[in-house]
Chains A and B, each alone.
Chain A
């Protein structure tokens, strides 16, 4: 069983590395060919910052590669609701990679709404419509969620079909992880008697973060979107943890926050210093959860993109420099990939563990 797990793990790692190499090749064709496509006389300098941020930002199309001046990307649906023209649904290829506008909509190139769909008003002003487009991140969200549903509904079926049998295949790979969340996160953090109510949420959060982190590490489609490094995604996760914590808070929990027993009165009156800190903590805890996941994943992506940018920075100076540094860059990128694999798991673990601990705190009875 152990061997089988290791083999599955190994193949995932090999897949990631292969994807990285292929992805690197895909990246490398980009800036060079950009020069071909545009006017070759004015050589556009490689902007590492822009390159990196373009890769971690959300987009209306899923860019796969640029080849001899042609951008190969998967167009995604744009869904916008504007006050003037109502609901508009169209495919993002109408924008021609942002070069053209469709109806009154276009992708803004500069300013506050840079990279977003905006509507041009008659007076020339631009307004941001209510935008629920299926962007790159949302597509990735669907893919990640589809994988989750496929995996867990699949193993649930296996459990139903062969009850009381030793786990096999995918089931054998996932069961230890489910048990890990149950026995090493939920039980110790929440308590033996109350953990069951919170376990489905914790399991969903754990696998959601982990699977999407891993998908984000694959440089080519269907991975590569920076989903768990998107602040809106981590905000929703942290918000749900906050809501569950607040809803399940016992009387003792609130008493501890507002009027902490066993501390000198001066800390609470006349200046309510401690209650103030405690109430801050209530909001700070989920806020930190949100920032931690976002920052960790985004930073990981940025580092890898940084190493790859180095190739183009040196390549712009001299081709030999580019080839020379690519050896080093790819080496470091592979090293970072391994670290990111670890981080993908650790962040899922940390988010789940901290959520469970907050639930545990909210449920705690006074013990003095």
Chain B
């Protein structure tokens, strides 16, 4: 029976001590501790959020970097292409001009050659005519020294005429 009868002294001390401890712990232990835990979890949450944000920004940055890089690559390709076409054009232009110039020179050369040729031909013709006359003169002078020869000649000539 004694075991289940609350003792007044124990009740008194327990009430006093427990309420005091409840007060002290509430004020100096539970509130600061719970607040600190709350603050810490808030800080951790914030840190996680800002890390997430930083990651996102990083990703964005990376994406824009890639975009810039891609643009730069396109630009480079364009520049290269332009340069190549410019080069081709310069070369073809140069070729054309060179061809035309060469053609002009050739034509001029042809004209000159032709003129020279004509001049040469007419000179040769004169020379040939002169030489022929001299030869003919000499031949005639030799062959016509006797009558027979003269007659042969005439015959021959006559024959030729007949043939014609």
> Closest residue of chain B to A162, judged by CB?
B36
> Closest residue of chain A to B42, judged by CB?
A164
Q: With an 8 A cutoff between CB atoms, is A34 at the interface?
A: no
Q: Which residues of A contact B37 (CB under 8 A)?
A: 159, 175, 178-179
Q: With an 8 A cutoff between CB atoms, is B22 at the interface?
A: yes
Decide: A58 near B18, CB < 8 A? Known: A159-B33, A200-B25: no
- Contact stretch, chosen from A92-100, A131-139, A314-322, A333-341: A131-139
- Contact stretch, chosen from A21-29, A36-44, A229-237, A262-270: A229-237
Q: With an 8 A cutoff between CB atoms, is A298 at the interface?
A: yes
Q: Mark A88-130, 1 if CB is under 8 A from B, else 0.
A: 0000000000000000000000000011000000000000001
Q: With an 8 A cutoff between CB atoms, is B2 at the interface?
A: yes
Report, as a range, how many residues of chain A touch the other chain: 35 or more
Q: Which residues of B contact A155 (CB under 8 A)?
A: 29, 33
Q: Which residues of B contact A137 (CB under 8 A)?
A: 10
Q: Which residues of B contact A200 (CB under 8 A)?
A: 22, 25-26, 30-31
The one of A115, A135, A148 that contacts B25, using a Cβ cutoff of 8 Å? A148
Residue pair B2, A160 in contact (C-beta under 8 Å): no
- Bound together, the chains give a CA A141 to CA B17 distance in angstroms of 8
Q: Which residues of B contact A152 (CB under 8 A)?
A: 25, 29-30, 33
The one of A58, A156, A178 that contacts B10, using a Cβ cutoff of 8 Å? A58
Residue pair A182, B9 in contact (C-beta under 8 Å): no
Q: With an 8 A cutoff between CB atoms, is B149 at the interface?
A: no
Q: Which residues of B contact A165 (CB under 8 A)?
A: 40
Q: With an 8 A cutoff between CB atoms, is B39 at the interface?
A: yes
- Bound together, the chains give a CA A360 to CA B72 distance in angstroms of 66
Q: With an 8 A cutoff between CB atoms, is B11 at the interface?
A: yes
Q: Which residue among B3, B5, B29, B31 has the maximum number of chain A CB atoms within 10 Å of its CB? A: B29
Q: With an 8 A cutoff between CB atoms, is A142 at the interface?
A: yes
> Closest residue of chain A to B13, judged by CB?
A138
> Closest residue of chain A to B30, judged by CB?
A200
Interface residues of B in 23-52 (CB under 8 A from A): 24-26, 28-34, 36-37, 39-40, 43
Q: With an 8 A cutoff between CB atoms, is A17 at the interface?
A: no
Residue pair A204, B26 in contact (C-beta under 8 Å): yes
Chain B: residues with Cβ within 8 Å of the partner, total of: 33
CB distance from A236 to the nearest CB of B (A): 4
CB distance from B120 to the nearest CB of A (A): 113
- Bound together, the chains give a CA A141 to CA B18 distance in angstroms of 9
- Bound together, the chains give a CA A142 to CA B18 distance in angstroms of 10
- Bound together, the chains give a CA A133 to CA B15 distance in angstroms of 14
- Bound together, the chains give a CA A179 to CA B2 distance in angstroms of 39
Q: Which residues of A contact B3 (CB under 8 A)?
A: 53, 56-57, 231, 298
- Bound together, the chains give a CA A32 to CA B4 distance in angstroms of 31
Residue pair A203, B25 in contact (C-beta under 8 Å): yes
Residue pair B24, A57 in contact (C-beta under 8 Å): no
> Closest residue of chain A to B27, judged by CB?
A200
The one of B11, B13, B31, B33 that contacts A235, using a Cβ cutoff of 8 Å? B11
Residue pair A130, B8 in contact (C-beta under 8 Å): yes
- Bound together, the chains give a CA A13 to CA B52 distance in angstroms of 44
Residue pair B21, A204 in contact (C-beta under 8 Å): yes
Q: With an 8 A cutoff between CB atoms, is A145 at the interface?
A: yes
CB distance from A329 to the nearest CB of B (A): 23
- Bound together, the chains give a CA A178 to CA B25 distance in angstroms of 13
Interface residues of B in 123-153 (CB under 8 A from A): none
> Closest residue of chain A to B7, judged by CB?
A232
Q: Which residues of A contact B31 (CB under 8 A)?
A: 200
CB distance from B40 to the nearest CB of A (A): 5
> Closest residue of chain B to A131, judged by CB?
B9
Q: With an 8 A cutoff between CB atoms, is A163 at the interface?
A: yes
- Bound together, the chains give a CA A231 to CA B25 distance in angstroms of 24
- Bound together, the chains give a CA A164 to CA B39 distance in angstroms of 7
- Bound together, the chains give a CA A156 to CA B13 distance in angstroms of 26
Q: With an 8 A cutoff between CB atoms, is A208 at the interface?
A: yes
Q: Which residues of B contact A131 (CB under 8 A)?
A: 7-9
Residue pair A156, B18 in contact (C-beta under 8 Å): no
Q: Which residues of A contact B33 (CB under 8 A)?
A: 152, 155-156, 159, 178
CB distance from B34 to the nearest CB of A (A): 7
Residue pair A232, B40 in contact (C-beta under 8 Å): no
Q: With an 8 A cutoff between CB atoms, is A240 at the interface?
A: yes
Q: Which residues of A contact B13 (CB under 8 A)?
A: 132, 134, 138, 141
Decide: A153 near B9, CB < 8 A? Known: A145-B17, A164-B40, A240-B18: no
Residue pair B8, A153 in contact (C-beta under 8 Å): no
Q: With an 8 A cutoff between CB atoms, is A201 at the interface?
A: yes
Decide: A149 near B11, CB < 8 A? Known: A142-B17, A236-B18: no
Apart from A153-B29, A236-B14, 8 more pairs, CB < 8 Å: A57-B3, A138-B13, A145-B17, A163-B40, A201-B22, A231-B6, A233-B14, A235-B11
